[in-house]
Amino acid sequence: MIVTVTANPSLDRTIAIERLRRGEVLRATGARVDPGGKGVNVSRALVANGHRTRAVVTTGGHAGNELLDLLAEAGVPVLEVPVSQGVRSNLTVAETDGTVTKLNEAGPTLRPEEVEELLTAAIAPTLDRPASWIAGCGSLPPGVGPDFYAVLVARARDAGVHTVVDTSGPAFEACLAAGPDLVKPNADELAEATRTGIATIGDAVHAAQALREAGAGAVLASLGADGAILVAAEGVWHAQAPLAGPVASTVGAGDAALAGFLAAGGHGPEALAAAVAWGTAAVSLPGSVMPGPKDIDLGAVAITATPDADRALT
């Protein structure tokens, strides 16, 4: 079982339009509402492909009730941590040319006791049945200190469970010293965490190696249209797959990639191939819809153990 922890879940509202024009009244060509938050998306992708998971989420207000209803409809097992303020709502504007504009709320302010309840709940599913991974994912709401994921990693290690962290900023940097088994940055987060430019595959590999030196066991870095790299003690691999069709939405593609990686065992080139296949499938789907087995093409993924260091990122 894979446990996901989302401290700052959301309702993700996606509106499709032809083109965004500021200051004008625009008519939508489509709209949908999905349960959101990076960990929530990972669990949704796992459920869509028949893998066991449990999503640990904060809930509050009317949006929190709607979030729970949507997760129930998706068949995602949930362990909720009620909080005093309401869950946030995020808005995504998707244009027909693939351009995506996101407006994200900060989220509710959590009290210290609510933060502790969330950490306790994160470990709870591992006590009554074995869990292979705990995935701490996404931004942290107000009131949650940047050491949240570091504490989560330490408690999971005490429980004998592997950890992966997918976040950014101070929370990402703080978690490294705790020694997570895996981290999953994108190219921008790699650059931010290592304070280096990421212009080539070699730059990305070098930055990922710096994260391993800082404490991460392995680094799965998603590189958008350029696929992903895996940098681990066993080696370095790059994987990429062609798009099967036009880009519908990039929202949640990185979360689908992480779900694929964990579902395939969480280490090695086979897991990297699954990550790229799942992530590539996700971008062809609207909003933050997670891909299912019919969307995923593992055979389209090309893997190399000797990445071209000079290859420029698109």
pLDDT in tens, the chain (314 residues): 999 999 999 999 989 999 999 999 999 999 999 999 999 999 999 999 999 999 999 999 999 999 999 999 999 999 999 999 999 999 989 898 888 899 999 999 999 999 999 999 999 988 777 788 999 999 999 999 999 999 999 999 999 999 999 999 999 999 999 999 999 999 999 999 999 999 999 999 999 999 999 999 999 999 999 999 999 999 999 999 998 778 888 888 999 999 999 999 999 999 999 999 999 999 999 878 899 999 999 999 999 998 999 999 98
On whether residue 229 sits in a domain, the answer given is yes
Domain count, the chain: 1
Q: Any alpha helices (H) in 74-177, and if so which ranges?
A: 112-123, 125-128, 148-158, 169-176
Pairing of strands 162-166, 133-137: parallel
On whether residue 311 sits in a domain, the answer given is no
Q: Are 55 and 43 in contact (CB under 8 A)?
A: yes
Q: Catalytic amino acids? A: 255
Q: Could you give the angle at which helices 187-194 and 169-176 cross, rounded to 10 degrees? A: 70
On whether residue 158 sits in a domain, the answer given is yes
Domain of 49, in residue numbers: 2-304
On whether residue 54 sits in a domain, the answer given is yes
On whether residue 309 sits in a domain, the answer given is no
On whether residue 314 sits in a domain, the answer given is no
CATH of the domain at 255: 3.40.1190.20
On whether residue 312 sits in a domain, the answer given is no
* Amino acid, res. 31: A
Rounded to an integer, what distance in angstroms lies between the CA atom of residue 176 and that of residue 217?
9
On whether residue 22 sits in a domain, the answer given is yes
What global pTM score does this model have? 0.94
